[in-house]
Chain A
Amino acid sequence: MADGSIRKGTRLSGAAWLIRALEEEGVETLFGYPGGAIMPVYDALVGSRLRHVLVRHEQGAALAAIGYARASGKVGVCMATSGPGATNLVTGIADAFLDSVPLLVITGQVPTTLMGTDAFQEVDVFGITLPIVKHSFLVRRPEDIVATVREAFAIAREGRPGPVLIDLPKDVAVAMVEADPPTRIERRPAPPSVSGLARARALLAASERPVIYAGGGVGMAGAEDALRRFHATTRAPAVLTLKALGALDPDDPMVLGMLGMHGNQGANHAVQEADLLIVAGARFDDRATGRLATFAPKARVIHLDADPAEIGKLREADAAICGDLARALDALAQPLAIDPWRARCAAWRAEHAWRYDAPGTDVYAPLLLKQLSEKARARFGERTVITCDVGQHQMWVAQHCRFPRISAHLTSGGLGTMGFGLPAAIGARFARPDCEVICVSGDGSIMMNVQELATLHRYGLKVKIVLLDNSALGMVRQWQELFFAERYSEVDLSDNPDFVEVARAFRIPAIAIDRRDQVGPALDALLAAETSMLLHVRIDPRANVWPLVPPGKSNGEMIERRAA
């Protein structure tokens, strides 16, 4: 049936056209969950060459599609039925919106004749998602489906990527039509190029204390190599956001690590002292800047971004270049005579390097994660993807694992979605079967999408799960300890289920450790396993993430570990 070509004169159902159009776009894998209003599409799926992955919750489908997109650089695709299926996708759509992930979301809808009558499983998903999509379509004519899919892919990908929703009423999906030829409905004008190249070059040449501040946009723009070239030419000290980790080699003395709330002190010092920030694909997020008014107070700003709306949004730019990031970086690169500044930054970097000599015999999570990352590198080289959930363990992953490229670190940055890690790992596994996929989760987060263990089993996927169990919603507990006078409120999870039993119930092998001397052998067993495996690690419930910029404070006011 699926010869893939869309020829004028062919008569098919709207749903069959949808599947054809997805095939034409080169989609291989999509994630979803069926139901009433989307049944025509599931019917059309039979015999198609698309691989549909049946998850166990629609949120899992959306987050898996995000993992797929972020690991592969392609558009992720997910689908669900109307009503509860559609609302279950919403968190994933928001995640894709805040992390600028190219995602196509297809929802079934009740027939157009019933829309607006509070029909069974009718919700206005188009309306619900308006603030969290890059664009959305409600397809009212079956002959528009092919062109709409084509358009949706283009929108999801172009400029700053993002999620696009197609809501497809059931009567439109079953109607038999000839499709219109798939031309773009309307081409978007290229973003106005705010070109301050000459001014940017002058600012850079005059700077004595420049710092590169690179964000996740570098990865989306395919500008990682250009950033590396820029860094190699300028040898300017560089700091990275959570989403840019992997863009530069963390062992390079001019790479100061992550900036911001849980970043490296050295990185924050350099930014606070800089006289020039070269901002590449970053957006002055509050987790990175601390109190904005005090961020990089001495610095002029060169802002490079694909999205013109980011320029001047939170911080005025002294020079801005909008558009292709790689070209801008190449055009700007020049050797700099800033040795005294390099020496100061190198000294901060050394002074604040991570330490792993924690006393005691219980598992020290930062050390475990460092070992995990090193062992994975020794075994698999650069072919590793690490996903994580949200909380303390997420920050430890960012601090202590190393990533060969941005797409090797899948973390929910903008939305901070607990439950992201496991489905994202599933998506990454489909996207990069050549890579070893590791998911670092917490005892709180894992329960948010624990049902996807069944998806691992169903598809025989190999995902290695490291579950850091502190019997708590650790990050919230840490804030209550430090900023709410130790008034603990609803953060205790000491009644957690036996996670080893949970995993085994889903037919995923699992082992548990609780002492430091068990870490090495356990990690070896985990990484050597030929199937999925869960390593349950009991850690100290009182451990906190250090250092830390208190909320609302300046990055210059970072606090270090308190004496125990």
Chain B
Amino acid sequence: MSERRALVVRLRRTEGALLRLLGLVQRRGFEIADIATAPAEAGVWRVRLELESVRDPGPLARQIEKLYDVVAVDAVGSGSAPVTT
């Protein structure tokens, strides 16, 4: 059963940063169900991702944290009720 969860990533606004984040998320086996970005403080984006996967999001958050442009990652729990695929 695939679960839906939300992650909020604060990302420095550098060349390729968004591509790198989205690419990593998909490669690690998470489907992006929804995405919203908004400027946070100067030069930083706040990216909210709704992710669906059968995989555990714990390692994903740590993978994202390793990205050089990432300032912080917050798991905000399940965005909505778990969905079955």
Contact = CB atoms under 8 A, between A and B. Distances in A.
Interface of A: 126-127, 130-131, 134-138, 140, 155, 159, 186, 188, 192, 307-309, 311-313
A135 B68 contact: yes
B27 to A, nearest CB: 6
Nearest 8 A/B pairs, CB to CB: A309-B62, A135-B68, A313-B59, A309-B63, A308-B62, A138-B15, A130-B23, A309-B66
Nearest to A186: B12
Nearest to B66: A309
Given A159-B66, A308-B66, A309-B63, 20 more contacts: A126-B15, A126-B16, A127-B16, A127-B19, A130-B20, A130-B23, A131-B23, A131-B24, A135-B68, A136-B16, A138-B16, A155-B68, A192-B65, A308-B62, A308-B65, A309-B65, A309-B66, A311-B59, A311-B62, A312-B56
B25 to A, nearest CB: 12
Contacts of A135: 68
B58 interface: yes
A326 to B, nearest CB: 21
Interface in B42-85: 56, 58-59, 62-63, 65-66, 68
A309 B70 CA distance: 14
Nearest to A138: B15
A140 B20 CA distance: 19
27 contacts: A126-B15, A126-B16, A127-B19, A130-B16, A130-B19, A130-B20, A131-B23, A131-B27, A134-B68, A135-B68, A136-B16, A138-B15, A138-B16, A155-B68, A159-B66, A186-B12, A188-B68, A192-B65, A308-B65, A309-B62, A309-B63, A309-B65, A311-B59, A311-B62, A312-B56, A312-B58, A312-B59
Contacts of A311: 59, 62
Contact of A307 (B16, B20, B56, B66): B66
A307 B62 CA distance: 9
Nearest to B12: A186
Contacts of A137: 15
Contacts, number: 38
Nearest to A162: B66
A279 B28 CA distance: 23
Q: State the main secondary structure of chain B at its contact with A.
A: helix
Nearest to B20: A130
Contacts of B23: 130-131
Interface residues on B, range: 10 to 19
A312 B58 CA distance: 8
A130 B56 CA distance: 23
Interface of B: 12, 15-16, 19-20, 23-24, 27, 56, 58-59, 62-63, 65-66, 68
Contacts of B65: 192, 308-309
Contacts of A126: 15-16
Nearest to A136: B16
A138 B23 CA distance: 18
A126 B17 CA distance: 11
Contacts of B58: 312
Contacts of B63: 309
Nearest to B59: A313
Most buried by B among A127, A135, A136: A135
A309 B16 contact: no
Contacts of B24: 131
Contacts of A308: 62, 65-66
B54 to A, nearest CB: 15
A140 B63 CA distance: 28
A79 to B, nearest CB: 20
A140 B56 CA distance: 38
A127 B23 CA distance: 10
A309 B24 CA distance: 13
A159 B65 CA distance: 13
Contacts of A134: 68
A271 to B, nearest CB: 22
A136 B69 CA distance: 11
A131 B81 CA distance: 31
Nearest to A313: B59
B82 to A, nearest CB: 21
A130 B25 CA distance: 13
B60 to A, nearest CB: 9
Nearest to B70: A188
A307 B65 CA distance: 11
Contacts of B16: 126-127, 130, 136, 138
Tell which of A138, A159, A188, A313 has the most Cβ of chain B within 10 Å.
A313
Contacts of A192: 65
